[in-house]
Amino acid sequence: MKPVIILSTLALLVSAGCGPKKNVDFLKETEVQKDSRMEWWREARFGMFIHWGLYSVPAGEWNGSKNHAEWIRETAQIPLEEYDQFVSQFNPVKFNAMDWVRMAKDAGMKYIVITSKHHDGFALYNSRVSEFDIMATPFGRDALKELSTACKKEGITLCFYHSIMDWHHPDYLPRRSWEKTRTSEGADFNRYINYMKGQLKELLTRYGKLGVLWFDGEWENTWTEEYGKDLYQYVRSLQPDIIINNRVTTGRSGMAGLTESETFGGDFGTPEQEIPAMGLPGIDWESCMTMNDHWGYNKADKNFKSTREILHMLADIASKGGNYLLNIGPTSEGVFPQESIDRLREIGIWMKTNGESIYGTQASPFRSLSWGRCTQKNMTESTRLYLHVFDWPVDQKLMIPGLGSKPIRAYLLADASQEELTIVREGANIFLNLPASAPDAVNSVVVLDIQGKPEVYDAPTIGAPAAIFTDKTEVTISKNETLSDIHYTLDGSEPVMDSPKYTGPFSLAETTTVQAACFREGQPVSAAQTAVFTRVVAEPGRVLSQVKPGLLYNLYSGDWDTVPDFNGMTPKMTGIATDFTLANQSKDEKFAIDYQGFLNITEDGVYTFALSSDDGSLLYVGSSLAINHDGLHGATTREATLALGKGLHTLRISFFEKTGGNSLSLLWKKSGQEFVAIPTEAFYYYR
């Protein structure tokens, strides 16, 4: 047992520092400076996530339930003193840092992100400001120090995941709602922040140069954007070149991982367990994914992704300009599950041949490809396209649609001799003649070099303020390049060269099917795009006397995973609200609010509503359920467009909060305008 260290608030401040040691505002760096700092990370594209700690001891099982993992203290509601017993049971005698690092390297991964501390508060290293660390276990070795040494030797960049949330520290707030006997009396959240900075200073000064500090657990209402900015400045004051994810601060849109544009978002976004459908253009991002269904080790979880699925995800993410952070949950003995070892080995075989098509690549110039994905690299006077072929064409002809660029040569990446493939142009499409058999059953990469930058003719985008209108609407058509012309039809037929040429916005007064395509030198060079704009009759409003300003609300206490049926339930509180901020102001968890009343529409028109919530919510307007945003999720937004006539329309918002952050807002906009908060004078109730 190491000596007990008791630090006063003053001592913690001295240890942690009170902010950046240099008079540098890291939030004001230039784009050139950020690009230089991000260069290695953008080149890497593929990393290993490791969730390891005390939670590996119960291995996902508690009192007969087998669906737990790194959240087991919360999900199984284990009292602190009982959870602390895992400290004496954590003895990973089979842990070998070099084995872990070499498996990551052999799989083609360029960096490792490991949990220096997860939400349970246990430090996986020798912390001088806490006794709740790996040195208090029978193992008694600093695992992160050993990993640091191994990473340096093998050329892998070491990064740390560090939780802002801490269920163990006496000053962290809020307490878990089920901890009825663990009082928060005397707790000081600012003192906890100083403690956290003390641990971060240890990590940033004792383990060499780190690549990334990957924060998490920022969603509880005690953490603010101001805290996040201060922590970002503090970390970079200790290692100016380090990269910090967006979870250092608030504003993340749930699992989508993208920070709201008006808030500070760290250096990169963090989609979790998902891949953005169209990527996140102009933003650095990294999809983190489990290999099975849990982050930490769960001995019963055998639902591992196949190597095929993982490699397709890797290509998909790279084709959208992102990084792939693939998770491993080691056992309490300190070894990777055999299924993970097998996947890593198989991934490594593919990466050894095809890694060039992943590392340092940019997002695909194509909107979609039916047979797979594409990544690209800028060459001196040309561009190299890496065509990731998931479905090998039966006729041996691979079509690259809408590519106007002049091809130079093509070959199979797996072919060391780089024997050239035959290239045939047919209009705007290019065809490559392929061998009968695919070189790889999962993902065969074909290299296509083209002159200059890619000229891709995507189908045009047809837009209007909304898909419905009550009187007339204005339609615009756009494209992603300047070399072609757009021709369109208004009768649903496919455009031809003689169809009207698009020269600017036009109006529609009746339900219309618009089709548009791009043409160049008299020939179609893109697929046709179709959009339907429907004229509707606005739902009539009502005129009611004796209505009063505001909305009725009922607040309920309970534990739900979906919006409850409030019929027959007794509210904890009732009242009149002028907006929906009551949900945001609550310091409690596990509650629900039901707002009811009327929305006053002052003129006929088409209105779009944006409902944001954390957790689930339902919006009823008039006679319909307008938005179903139910279920457990982080702060995300859904929209609905309705045609509403002048007068009063029934309005109801039902919302529930389980744990974590709580937020609820409703914005609206009329066609062609921007979203704004609904004015309080638009709400009425009748009782």
- CATH number, domain of 495, equals 2.60.40
pLDDT grade for 22, boundaries at 50, 70 and 90: low
The pLDDT value recorded for residue 129 is: 97
Ranking 157-166, 274-283, 444-453, 586-595 by mean pLDDT, the lowest is 586-595
C-alpha dist (Å) from residue 373 to 282, 313, 315, 325, 447: 19, 10, 7, 19, 12
Confirm whether 326 is domain-assigned: yes
pLDDT value of position 435: 97
Q: What pLDDT digit, counting tens, does each position of 210-253 carry?
A: 999 999 999 888 999 999 999 999 999 999 999 999 999 987 77
Model pLDDT, residue 260: 63
Average pLDDT of the segment spanning 655-681: 88
Q: Which domain holds residue 641?
A: 548-685
Q: What is the pLDDT of residue 279?
A: 87
Q: Is residue 484 part of a domain?
A: yes
Q: What is the pLDDT of residues 96-108, one digit of tens each?
A: 999 999 999 999 9
Q: 477 and 564 in one domain?
A: no
pLDDT band at 38; cut points 50, 70, 90: very high
> Long-range CB contacts (< 8 A, 24+ apart) of 242-245?
242/204, 242/210, 242/211, 242/212, 242/213, 243/37, 243/38, 243/41, 243/211, 243/212, 243/213, 243/267, 243/268, 244/212, 244/213, 244/215, 245/212, 245/213, 245/214, 245/215, 245/269, 245/270, 245/286
Mean pLDDT of 610-630: 92
Can you list the pairs that 202-206 forms with residues at least 24 positions away whose Cβ atoms lie under 8 Å? 202/125, 202/127, 202/128, 202/129, 203/116, 203/125, 203/144, 203/160, 203/162, 204/235, 204/238, 204/239, 204/242, 205/238, 206/145
Please indicate, yes or no, if residue 15 is contained in any of the structural domains: no
CA dihedral sign of residues 361, 366, 368, 369: negative
Encode pLDDT of 358-380 as tens digits.
999 999 999 999 999 999 999 99
Residues 222, 283 share a domain? yes
pLDDT for the residue numbered 624: 85
Domain boundary among 357, 381, 409: 357
Position 262 scores a pLDDT of 61
Q: Determine the pLDDT at residue 7.
A: 41
Which segment of 31-45, 286-300, 553-567 scores lowest on mean pLDDT?
Answer: 553-567
277 lies in the same domain as 379:
no
What is the DSSP secondary structure assignment for residue 607, as one 8-state letter? E
* Contact (CB, 8 A) for 459 and 518: yes
628-645 per-position pLDDT tens digit = 999 988 778 899 999 999
**Mean pLDDT, the chain, whole residue set:** 93
- Rounded to whole angstroms, the Cα distance separating 673 from 687 reads 34
Alpha-carbon span 64 to 293, nearest angstrom:
18
CA gyration radius, the chain: 28
% pLDDT > 90, the chain: 84
Instruction: Tell me the pLDDT band of 15, cut-offs 50, 70 and 90.
Output: very low
> Is the bond preceding 615 in cis, omega lying within 30 degrees of 0?
yes
Residue 462 has pLDDT above 50, yes or no: yes
Residues 60 and 198 in one domain: yes
- List C-alpha distances in Å: 394 to 403, 421, 428, 664: 22, 16, 22, 52
Quick one: 200 and 345 in the same domain? yes
In this prediction, residue 18 carries a pLDDT of 42
Q: 8 falls in which pLDDT band (50, 70, 90)?
A: very low
Is residue 56 domain-shared with residue 136, that is, in the same domain? yes
Are 337 and 466 within one domain? no
- In the chain, the amino acid numbered 405 is S
Are 331 and 439 in a shared domain? no
pLDDT band at 659 (very low <50, low <70, confident <90, very high): confident
- Lowest mean pLDDT, pick from 156-165, 264-273, 383-392: 264-273
Q: pLDDT for 81-94, tens place per residue? A: 999 999 999 999 99
Name the more confident of 48 and 263. Answer: 48
- The residue-averaged pLDDT of 272-280 equals 90
Q: Directed axis angle between helix 143-154 and helix 97-106, to 10°?
A: 40
Q: Tell me if 282 is assigned to some domain.
A: yes
- What are the DSSP calls for 318-373, one per residue? HHTT-EEEEEE---TTS---HHHHHHHHHHHHHHHHHGGGTTT-B--SSS--TTEE
Q: Is residue 345 part of a domain?
A: yes
89 and 172: one domain? yes
535, 556, 574: which is the final residue of a domain? 535
19 within domain boundaries: no
Instruction: Please indicate, yes or no, whether residues 101 and 249 belong to a single structural domain of this protein.
Output: yes
Domain count of the fold of the chain? 4
Does 9 have pLDDT greater than 60?
no
What is the mean predicted confidence (pLDDT) over 16-41? Answer: 82
25: Cα within 13 Å, side-chain hemisphere: 3
Cβ distance 664 to 613 under 8 Å? yes
Please tell me what DSSP assigns to residue 65.
B
Indicate whether 418 and 469 sit together in one domain: no
Range 447-452 average pLDDT: 97
Beta bridge partners of 445: 388
Distances (CA, A) of 472 to 334, 405, 506: 66, 40, 10
For the chain, percent of residues with pLDDT exceeding 70:
95
Q: Of 451, 478, 505, which residue is a domain's last?
A: 451
Q: pLDDT tens digit string along 571-596? A: 999 999 999 888 776 667 789 999 99
Per-residue confidence (pLDDT) for residue 614, from 0 to 100 = 85
pLDDT at residue 10, rounded to an integer: 35
At 322-356, the pLDDT tens digits run: 999 999 999 999 999 999 999 999 999 999 999 99
In a domain, 283, yes or no: yes
- State the pLDDT at residue 21: 52
Helices (H) and strands (E) in the chain, counts: 11, 34
* Residue 111's CATH number: 3.20.20.80
Tokens for 125, please give them: 């290293």
Q: What CATH code is carried by the domain that includes residue 559?
A: 2.60.120.1560
Question: pLDDT higher for 674 or 659?
Answer: 674
In a domain, 366, yes or no: no
What pLDDT is stored for residue 586 in this prediction? 67
Residues 84 and 229 in one domain: yes
Q: Is the pLDDT of residue 485 over 90?
A: yes
Least Cα distance to 113 among 173, 35, 203 occurs for 203
